[in-house]
Chain A
Amino acid sequence: MDEIRNEIMNIEKSAEKLKTLAKDNNAIRKNAEIILTFLYILKFITPATD
């Protein structure tokens, strides 16, 4: 599960960067935000237990 959590963090960094890069492009920015939505859920369903 640690590896999965790390990958989620990596994708989150990329999605945030994508959102910033696309600040003038509604379509790309919105899709980046949707990726972040699902990352919120991914983090929620992969909680650390220690």
Chain B
Amino acid sequence: MEFWNPYTETLPREKLEKIEFSYFQNLLSYAKANSQLYKDKLKGINIDDIKVFEDIKKIPFTYKEELRKWQEDVDPFPYGGLLGIDIANVSSFRQTSGTTGKPVYVPESYESWQWRVESWCHILYMAGFRPRHRVFLPFGYNVYVAFWEAHYAAEKLGCEVVPGGALDTKGRVNKIIELKANAMCGTPTYLLNIAQEAASMGIDPKSLGIERALGAGEPLPEATRKRIEETYNCKMYDHIGSTETCGFAGMCEAQQGLHIVEPFFLVELLDKDTLSKEVSEGELGVIVITPLGRRSFPVIRFNTNDVAIKGPSTCECGRTSLKLMEIVGRVDDISKIRGVLFSPKTVEQLIRSEFPEIVEYELVVTREDIMDKITLRIEADPKLNKDEAGEVAKRLGERHKIKTNLSCKVVVEPQGTLPRYDLKAKRFKDMRGKH
């Protein structure tokens, strides 16, 4: 087996834990001295009391809501109390999608960004990406972090990167063919969408020459992973990460679970009821993460609300890092649709605040083949004629896309079609997996 960093990737667990604890102590001191959030959060804690690994549990969790709070009306704009460096040293801006509330603005210094990229190099390398690969990245290059890390890491690995932004799916298929790209990264559903588009153009996806692909942004069930492999005749791998935490785990050639990139991250898998006890192998736990070397935006014991099954710390690949066998989902009810976090509340707020001419609505998510589809059924004010109602539907579709980063089909229904509710409304129907 080949490793990106054979030294750290094969260290015995006790040595990895010792290193991570040492990095954790350094980060605590750094954050307390440089981040307004942690100056406040750690004010009652004497860092010298954090002497052994188990003492980590004395440090409180960090929640996403806190990150939002510390950016509201706190200087320096727009990062507020989350910033861990002089704002003059911020070199790039990223943000979370904001579908569960106000977006979190994430500052990266050149150092912090390169630290993220180095972590991602581990993920790509363990997925078999090598300098021989011409990597096509079919995503809209924008304020979201998705695939920027992949772009820079693939460059660092020595791959040739083809930025596939600002093209429609057909254009992307043509570009893959034109340049003979042989590797890709994308959300699993979009990778299949590309394959479907190619097929509709009379092109067998297998003939595209994609050797391997890395999925991101949404769960990759084993059946979908295998389907992508069969569709493209390629090897398909998975990874997990987020804007706040960075990409923190990836799949190796053995394709059995995701290796935590250690010692970049201290990952705790805690019993979801008590959030205090580390779960055992095979058990479900809430993922709590501390990125150990990112100073621009220190985040300590970030409670992701994601639940995963703890895997073994041995693997046929030889890596000794902790493994997550399966990402089961989120603790709360926020959905992920086509790789984007989605809250029905966002749609309700949009309709209630901007579309008084809509009298009732229903949001339905279905899975057609394996692609998630959102249908927004609306009933318009009966005073509107057909053309006016159609115009409202068009505008709603556009605003929905802007607010949620997801496209949807808006259907104008006849009056009285949709159910009315006296008490708790059930306007969101997630029908995926129900047919």
Contact = CB atoms under 8 A, between A and B. Distances in A.
Nearest to A42: B118
Given A49-B15, A49-B19, A41 B8 contact: no
B7 to A, nearest CB: 6
Given A37-B110, A49-B11, A44 B18 contact: no
A41 B22 contact: no
B7 A46 contact: yes
B293 interface: yes
Nearest to B122: A45
B274 interface: no
Contacts of A41: 111, 114-115, 118, 293
B115 A38 contact: no
Interface string A30-50: 000110011011001111010
Nearest to A1: B7
B353 interface: no
A38 B23 CA distance: 17
A24 B22 CA distance: 37
B207 interface: no
B124 to A, nearest CB: 15
B114 A37 contact: yes
Contacts of A44: 23, 115, 118, 264, 293
Interface string A1-15: 100000000000000
Contact of A49 (B18, B111, B114, B264): B18
Given A45-B118, A47-B22, A49-B18, A40 B111 contact: yes
Contacts of B15: 49
B298 to A, nearest CB: 15
Contacts of B5: 45
How big is chain B's contact interface, by range?
10 to 19
Chain B contact residues: helix, strand, loop or mixed: helix
A38 B114 contact: yes
Contact of A47 (B19, B111, B114): B19
Contact of A34 (B7, B19, B110, B293): B110
Contacts of A46: 7
A34 B7 CA distance: 24
A33 B23 CA distance: 22
8 smallest CB-CB distances across A and B, nearest first, come from A49-B15, A47-B19, A37-B111, A44-B293, A41-B118, A37-B110, A45-B5, A40-B111
A16 to B, nearest CB: 15
Contacts of A1: 7
A47 B15 CA distance: 10
Given A34-B110, A40-B115, A41-B293, 11 more contacts: A37-B111, A38-B114, A40-B111, A41-B114, A44-B264, A45-B7, A47-B8, A47-B23, A49-B11, A49-B15, A49-B18
A1 B15 CA distance: 15
Contacts of B18: 49
B117 to A, nearest CB: 9
A45 B114 contact: no
B345 to A, nearest CB: 40
A47 to B, nearest CB: 5
B263 interface: yes
11 contacts: A33-B110, A38-B114, A41-B111, A41-B118, A44-B23, A44-B115, A45-B5, A47-B8, A47-B23, A49-B18, A49-B19
Interface in B285-335: 293
